[in-house]
Chains A and B, each alone.
Chain A
Amino acid sequence: MRAIRKLVYKDFLVIIRDRGGLAMLFLMPMALVLIMTSLQDNTFKAINESGINLIILNNDPDSLGAAIEQEIVSSNFFNTHHSINGQKPTEQAIIDAVAAGKFQIGIVIPAAATQKIRERVSQNVALIFSGDSAQSLSQPDSITIMLYIDPATKNSLRSSLQGSIREYANRVESRIVLNELTREINTRFMMPVTNLNLIKQEMVTYQEVYVARGNKTVIPNSVQHNVPAWTLFAMFFIVIPFASAMIKEREDGSLARLLTMPCSYTSIMISKILVYLLVCMLQFALITLMGVYLFPMFGLPSLAVYGHLTGLTVMALAAALAAIGYGISVGTIARTHQQAAIFASISVVILAAIGGIWVPVFIMPPLFRKISVASPLNWGLNGFYDILVRNAHLADVIHYGVYMILFSLLCLLIALYYHKLRREYN
């Protein structure tokens, strides 16, 4: 115990004396979380809040053109333009502007589109009431609304826009059908009917609710999603300074000297675990405080941690142990600083990628979805998300913590075994 106390004292001094390294240990992760969250938040806003530039050329001032135009403007989805350089554009000008990337989407509504619909509907309604079943209903000339799309625009956005326009067109068409039916009924029957358009058209509506455990409603935002992900990522990057510190100690002979004294490799590792655990938890505390108090100053939502601090702390502790355990194995197995730095940084990026830090696991290909369950970052991320986004309690996520602690122990065992091999076979 005395040896471990002295080793902790030494490791603590080594860390705090390296002021540059210390600043990087705390400031870089905070900067990473702040920058990534801000970027993701802006992307989120870009998609949801008038971030996409759309140019519309409405050659049909009647119902269809007006409806589409009004729905697009009121959707708040797009930054809608009607002119290019102050001039009403031609279709070719729209094509050129979209191709040049000035607008992400261009829409051209053909002239007299509503009138064409009206004529066809009128013919068909008249046919229906004529009682002549021999004549088939006329197929209207297709009315083509042109969508010009910047190739850089996401497929999901294109599909969503097509769906919306189809919905607006259907709505206008239904309205015209009902108007024509009303007119036809009132012409043919004694008892007039009120306009059928008064019937509420949207009988089926939907309501979107983000459900969480305990019947609570949680409104997700970019902060709740990004802070846990990038905090985990930053935490795992401690593998690099950790492994480097171990290799430095080995190279300068200090480790060998320690091993000739009454302390084992395990106690040397326990000391490092304790000191770096403190570093990781301080990182976590600073990032959490930043999320709660500093983010709003940057126009970001505040990180909502109220009621979840115990769960978050336990998950952070387990994630820190996993990161440190990984660092011990890398630091023990790598022979040089270069080996450790390259392997540690790339492997952490890979673990983060397959763990779902950048891309949600559910949209990964099936193989990667299976692999992702083997990433400690995935366990940590699931734990944090369950707590922050799905309102889970510690008991609900403790299994993720256990996985991470077991991973840490496995890494420690590998390191001890490798150390033993090195002593025997070197």
Chain B
Amino acid sequence: MTQILTPTPQRRKDASPRRRHPLAIDARSSGGLVAKIVSLGLVLALAVALTPTLVATANWAFLIMLWAVVAVVVAVYLTGRIVPAKYLLPGVLMLVLFLIYPIILTFQLSTTNYGDGTRSSKEAAVARIVGTSAVQVPDGAVYSLVVGTQGAITTGPFEMLLVDTATEQAYVGSEEEGLTELPADTVTVDAGQITAAEGYTILTRQEQNDLSGAGQPLDGFAVPVNDDTVIKAQGFQAIEMRTPLIYDEAADTITNVDTGVVYTAERAPSGDRSYFVDDAGQRLATQSWSENVGTFNFERIFSDQRITGPFLSILGWTLVFAVGSVGSTFALGLLLAVTLNDTRMRGQRAFRSFLIMPYAIPGFISLMVWAGFWNRDYGLVNDMLGTGIDWFGDATWAKVAVLLTNLWMGFPYMFLICTGALQSIPSDLKEAASIDGATGFGQFRRIVFPLLLVSTAPLLVSSFAFNFNNFNAIQLLTKGGPFSPDNPTAGGTDILISYTYRLAFGSGGSQIGFASAVSVLLFVLTGVLAAIQFRGTRKLEEMN
């Protein structure tokens, strides 16, 4: 039946190169050469175009990766020595960039405490702690402020153009060189404010505002005056501010010079975050930062009572869910396949047309419709059964509902593969069995079923692996719920992948490092499944 899809004209074309190949090949290879040069040129041009941005944003890892990719591409396609590599490279590149590299990144993240509240680097955290402690110097100078630049008005470098409101002296202040007086004949001061300065472009208030937003060049702009005083912008004024906190990089301590208290960076005794604390353990600030925490996330999964319990029950349910889904769908699919695979029946094709439908509908639609069916008050299930069960309100009923939904989702697939497998069992085997006196059921149990199991086993294992990480089935039905009041992060129908998702992207604050650690465990479990599949199937022996 496949030959039907192989159109005849195509094959004629294949047969024809004999007649016209010399010219055809010439034309093709020179066209190919142009295409090759153009696409290699594009790759190179893209890399060259991206390099300045990568350098400016200090993304060294990406820069190295980019040029490594370029080098590999050029080496493979320009030298033309390794022919198989030419065919493998496109897919392998995609695989490496968007699957393997993220896997490595996941392992790396799993050893950090990265997440909400610990997103910034330590330097940024220290700067913020020191910065927020700054207060206006009593009787300190107040300046009127405009921002000017000798460079571009979007990227700077920027300087503060100041006029002391008491003395009317004009200054220029830069982050590197501090405060410098401006000779009166180089500036125009109008109403106490600089309106023009030689060599400077002055920003409008709008431009200054735009550049002062979080993360913009003027965010946190400070002009140092003394060791502990700086001039900072406050709206369209600048004031002299002083911080009593001095950060000592070598000792990794912050000292309050007024009180003499020394704060050291220490990991909180129970947790993955560090803070600056004094001798008595009092925190200087609630600000923490991202850092390497080694195996802490993994230890936490297996030693922290509040996490171990839910984690193990989620793991258990994940296994039950995967086994239950495969088992129930296979049982129903097999039953239907055996029942309907009788050549004497009419309308086999019609039956199959109906039974294939749940498989054809995109999964998210079915799942969301089913989610409505389980509603206690207006759901179709309670309606038809005449019951009043609060399906999603109770953990056990919710599990039953999830499994029953997944049965509907999955049985057509099993029906199809069982039908396929049944039809490929040679009929003389069955005939031989019936000559030997095997009855219908005996024949099925001794001959048909074992053969069927052999040919469907690989598909059953991959179906198990799929359900093991079947995020949609949980998220779109119950969102992992119901949740008990004492643990809002682990729900009654959560499987590991939906649990991970909530840890990383949930509304309760994201714990990326911890979520990555759970992902790593999922990798290990999936790897074990893969090993089982390797053994179970004969792919290894078949490979040649």
**Pairing of A with B:** no
Q: Which residues of A pack against B, CB within 8 Å?
A: none
